[in-house]
Structure 1
Amino acid sequence: MNILQILYEWIDIKAVFIFSCVFLLLSDYIRNKAPKNFPPGPWSLPFIGDLHHIENGRIHLQLSQFAEKYGKIFSLRIFGSRIVVLDGYKLVKEVYLQHDDSLAGRPMLPIFTDIVGDKGLIAAKGFKWKQQRRFALSTLRNFGLGKKSLELSISLECRFLNEAVSNEQGRPFDPRSLLSNAVSNVICVLVFGHRFEYSDNGFQSLLKNINEAVYLQGGICAQLYNMLPRLMRQVPGPHQRIFTLWREVIDFIREKVNAHRVDYDPSNPRDYIDCFLGEMEKVKDDTDAGFDVENLCFCTLDLFGAGTETTSTTLYWGLLYMVKYSEIQAKVQEEIDHVVGGSRQPSLSDRDNMPYTNAVIHEIQRIGNIIPMNVARATVEDIQIGKYSIPKGTIVSGNLTSVLFDESEWETPQCFNPGHFLDAEGQFRRRDAFLPFSLGKRVCLGEQLARMELFLFFSSLLQRFTFSSPAGVEPSLDFKLGATHSPQPYELCAVPR
């Protein structure tokens, strides 16, 4: 081969390479070009969007910084496509309520599509979502949601949790797994028909899988997966671990569903799974409603996973704040002693007579900020937000961090201050900007259950124990950010009162 031939081949390879690069860049530009009259935002790079602007693990803190620069309505290219972010309580409330029906969709992000598709309660949309949400709410109410019967079940779990904490005998321990197990058992009774012992290592492992998967879903690899799904499906990394973890959880649920199908008695439904099986028979001709075995597994996953992670993480923050602010812990215990005493467990009927404890729980939820960027919604039609045009299919997220820390709504937003929820007479007061469960038609369907659990578990624990840091350890409020905002792992000592 002479030099001229080599030169021609080199030029051909170079030309193909240049053409490929130009083609990919143009494709990315066309596919992700901001629509006309779209909210402003930082300058995005091809393929990775605005990842170079984001500090991993701090995005919830950066969003308000972007709002200061680009306005209360701005856009970012993250999660694989452009997302419109709403900043501040008044704007979030106005948009979510004014465009409630138009914002009832869910974005089909590649990583969630590959795990769930459009199944379940969280990712579903349209007619299927309406049918499944209606059915889940009515079924949970039938099994005691908001009623005395469910309170008895939670109170029983409080006793099991207190016993497990007591078994630590004041030694340092990380309460995360015990809290997760206790909270999960409440939803397990509703969904599976029974609870799990804290000594059940298989179930403990399952809860750890959920916790790890939720954390990894908020990481950089998950964002890259959404931006470059074809590539990321083929390469190893933490994102592959997410699929492994969720497969194990879904396999566990599928086993429970199959066991229910074997001994299912339509005349005596025991739990959510039994009721779903009954509904499958009633509406078997309506395939669009989603009443099939596969969707049952994913609806159960949503109830089981979401019903565990958020509430247990809130309690995990709660005990940490009690350790950090021992004087607040002492005031809560004083109120519990005065209203409840020590001869019986706290009940929901005590809540109205315990304004300080109620205020502390609300402040834990506010400053704990468990879902800091909200669960993203998508427009189901073209809408107008302020002066901007938002096309159908656009991801819209009301930044809950900007709501729960809004300086125009909270007196001391950066401080742990139960006074945010107390009036001048020391009575509990509601705050409009308290929106940890979001609002509108996509509001968290487990809100009522979570409120019951938080009050009963928190007050029961502080009735029985005083929590403190291990000797020589200064409590830290450092956090880790995945799909939820949680404390870094910590240990505490629980001394019986």
Structure 2
Amino acid sequence: MDLFGVLPFLLVSCITFLLILILKRDATKGKLPPGPTPLPLLGNLLQLNIRDIVKSFKKLHEWYGPVFTVYMGSRPIVVLCGYQVIKEALVDNAETFGGRGRIQALDETFSKYGMVETNGERWRQLRRFSLITLKNFGMGKRSIEERIQEEAQFLVQVLRKTEGHPFDPTTHLRHAISNVICSIVFGNRFEYEDKDFIFLLDTMKKVTSALLSTWVQICNFFPSLMRILPGPQQKLPRYVNMLTNFISQRVKMHQESFDPNCPRDFIDCFLAKMEQEKTNPASEFIHENLVATVLSLFIAGTDTTSNTIIQGLLVLLRYPEMEANMQEEIERVIGRNRSPSYEDRIQMPYTEAFINEIHRFLDLSAVAPPRLVTQEAHFRGFTIPKGTTVIPLLSSIMKSSQYYETPRKFNPGHFLNENGALKKVDAFLPFSAGKRACPGESLARMEIFVFLTTLLQNFHLKTLEQREEIDIAPEVESNGYAPRRYQLCVVPR
């Protein structure tokens, strides 16, 4: 067959293939919620701005309602918007919407082990163990709160050395928050100049930067293709491997001095559980799960918490009256002669409202990690097949005028009643909800409160800019937001 005979054959084959894809898609489309018409192979790639997925989803929310479908390549994704819809799915139907959807960019370390991307019994056991261990943390002689308080004082000492000169608080806060995790997991903190500590933080930063890159977002559309194409996504497995090797070395050091009767930290508690279940061939308490769980604690617990505090300090630079309100509460409840305690928040409604408003305004988890439908779901008049990935758009709650009077403005009054007492707002889900809600929520809340109040107990915040010109609006990342970079001056009180 000559070239002119082959071309029509290839053309007919391609058209047939595309028609099969379209017919196959249309055969199931009636079961799923509505959404933009996808193209064969590409899905809705051309209708979404992968540099600002949140904005794209919000537009589709306006067009198709609170439940809609987008296609990432040939894969349907159901997006949930609004408090009532997200609560109905994640809380009222927690078991059905309780699986973890695949995060395509993550490698086997996460997809097979730990509690980030696993499902079933492995996830249940590891999550339960982590929650109980963090909640009942009595390892050694110090509680989690004491470790946070200690690190907050180290941070104060470092900031005093700035002597009122401007600096970017990002590095200092990442060091401090990571050191809290180090103390909990490894049993000791690091000096900020320690080369192992710097290596750990630099590598974690490379992992999070890669996960937020445009190339990695494209992995969600074409996972098989992106595994062979060059780009930042190719570096991610190498960075993760560097971190797992670092953690494995620390585990080995723990094993050499391990005393099951005196656990010093999270790793020791896990090793004790491994020893307890060593005769169980189906035990989930194995080395690989230990390393992956520790790694997830670091990645999930460093940037999100430090970014929340960084955003809070920026807001205080812009609005010194809010700083004055918080410092008045600190003076009245805590004074200057002891470290702030998490229990103090009960008597400090304005400070608590301010922290809640940081979460709402910054909207760090605008697009929550994907869920997986564990069984066929009949939801809001639609049928969502088992195994479908579901994405809760938390930003549709946090920036909703239905629940917040001034959703685009920073306003602690959103969480205060007319008497100045803390007000509970149901539509406030910064850590998501249901079975897959962030397991580190309690730790993060404690860190943010203790660090912020300790800093304001010791310093006044200053800026070289005109306060009216400070832009506190978060910067857009591909699937969420991050605080702007800025220069801060601290003056001892």
**TM above 0.5, one fold?**
yes
Equivalents in 1 of 2:283, 2:39: separation in Å? 41
1:286–1:18: structure 2 CA closer, same or farther, 3 Å change rule? farther
Matched AA of 1:494: V
- Of 123, 136, 156 in structure 2, the residue corresponding to residue 142 of structure 1 is 136
Q: Mark the CA change 1:266 to 1:417 in structure 2 (over 3 Å): closer, same or farther.
A: same
The 1:265/1:406 distance shift into structure 2, 3 A limit, reads same
Which residue in the other structure is 2:477 paired with? 481
Q: Quote the residue 2:428 is aligned against.
A: 434
Partner of 2:425, secondary structure, is coil
Q: Deviations over 1:99-155 (max 9, x none)?
A: 10111111224322545223111111111111111111122233249x982221111
- Higher mean C-alpha deviation, range 49-58 or range 18-27: 18-27
Q: In the alignment, which residue of structure 2 is the partner of 1:204?
A: 198
Q: How does 1:443-482 map to 2 (within 5 A)?
A: 443-471=437-465, 474-476=469-471, 477-482=473-478
Question: What is the aligned partner in structure 2 of residue 67 from structure 1?
Answer: 61
Partner of 2:7: 14
- In the alignment, is the contact (CA less than 8 A) between 1:88 and 1:402 conserved in 2? yes
1:228 and 2:222 are equivalent in the alignment: yes
Q: Among 415, 421, 436, which residue is 2:415 paired with?
A: 421
Residue equivalent to 2:95 = 101
Counterparts of 1:208 and 1:451 in 2: how far apart (Å)? 25
Distance across 2 between alignment mates of 1:324 and 1:462: 15
Hey, what's the Cα distance between the residues in 1 that align with 2:243 and 2:369?
21
Taking the aligned partners of 2:336 and 2:397, their CA distance within structure 1 comes to 38
- Matched residues, number: 489
Deviation by residue 1:43-68 (Cα, 9 ceiling, x = unmatched): 22233322222223322133222111
Decide whether the 8 Å contact of 1:158 with 1:460 is kept in 2.
yes
Evaluate the alpha carbon distance shift between residue 289 and residue 385 of structure 1 in structure 2; reply closer, same or farther with a 3 A threshold: farther
Question: Mean Cα displacement is larger for which, 386-395 or 349-358?
Answer: 349-358
The corresponding residue for 2:379 is 385
Structure 1, unmatched stretches of 5+, are 1-7
Q: Distance in 1 between matches of 2:132 and 2:345?
A: 25
Supply the distance in 1 between the matched residues of 2:4 and 2:288 (Cα, whole angstroms).
54
Query: Quick one: which amino acid aligns to residue 419 of structure 1?
Result: G
Corresponding residue SS for 1:117: helix
C-alpha offsets along residues 183-236 of structure 1, whole Å, 9 cap, x if unaligned?
122221121111111112442342233234223323331132232223222221
* Residue pair 2:375, 2:385 contacting (<8 A) in 1 also: yes
**Do structure 1's residue 397 and structure 2's residue 391 form an aligned pair?**
yes
**Partner residue in 2 for 1:43:** 37
How far off its partner does 1:79 sit?
Answer: 7.6
Q: In 1, distance between residues paired with 2:343 and 2:6? A: 77
Q: How far is the alpha carbon of 1:330 from its aligned partner?
A: 2.1
Q: CA deviation at 1:294?
A: 1.2
Aligned counterparts of 1:325 and 1:27: Cα–Cα separation in 2: 59
Aligned equivalents of 2:108, 2:11: Cα separation in 1: 33
Cα 1:285–1:44, aligned 2, differ >3 Å: closer, same or farther? farther
Match of 2:241 in 1: 247
Distance 1:227 1:292 in 2: 33
Mapped pair 1:173 → 2:170: no
Q: Once the two structures are superposed, what CA deviation does each residue of 1:398-423 show, in whole Å capped at 9, x if it has no partner?
A: 21101111211111111100001111
With normalisation by structure 2, the TM-score equals 0.92
Question: Aligned partners of 1:23, 1:174: CA distance in 2, in Å?
Answer: 58
Helix, strand or coil: the match of 1:83? Answer: strand
- The 3 A distance-change label for structure 1 pair 144 and 446 is farther
Unaligned runs of 5+ in 2: none
Structure-2 change in CA distance of 1:22 and 1:293 (3 Å): farther
Q: Among 478, 490, 493, which residue is 2:489 paired with?
A: 493
Q: Give, in angstroms, the shift of residue 309 of structure 1.
A: 2.0
Cα 1:489/1:175, change in 2 over 3 Å: same
Against the structure 1 CA distance between its residues 109 and 443, is the aligned structure 2 distance closer, same or farther, given a 3 Å change threshold? closer
Change (3 A) 1:12 1:66: same
Q: How does 1:251-262 map to 2 (within 5 A)?
A: 251-262=245-256
TM-score by length of 1: 0.92
Structure 1 Cα separation of the partners of residues 389 and 230 of structure 2: 28
Deviation of 1:484 after TM superposition, in Å, equals 5.1
Report the CA distance between 1:31 and its aligned residue.
7.0
- Residues 215 and 482, structure 1, Cα contact 8 Å, conserved in 2: no
387-396 or 75-84, which deviates more: 75-84
Distance 1:21 1:165, change over 3 A: farther
Closer, same or farther in 2 for the Cα pair 1:30/1:233, shift >3 Å?
A: farther
SS at match of 1:389: strand
- Displacement of 1:465: 1.6
Partner of 1:410: 404
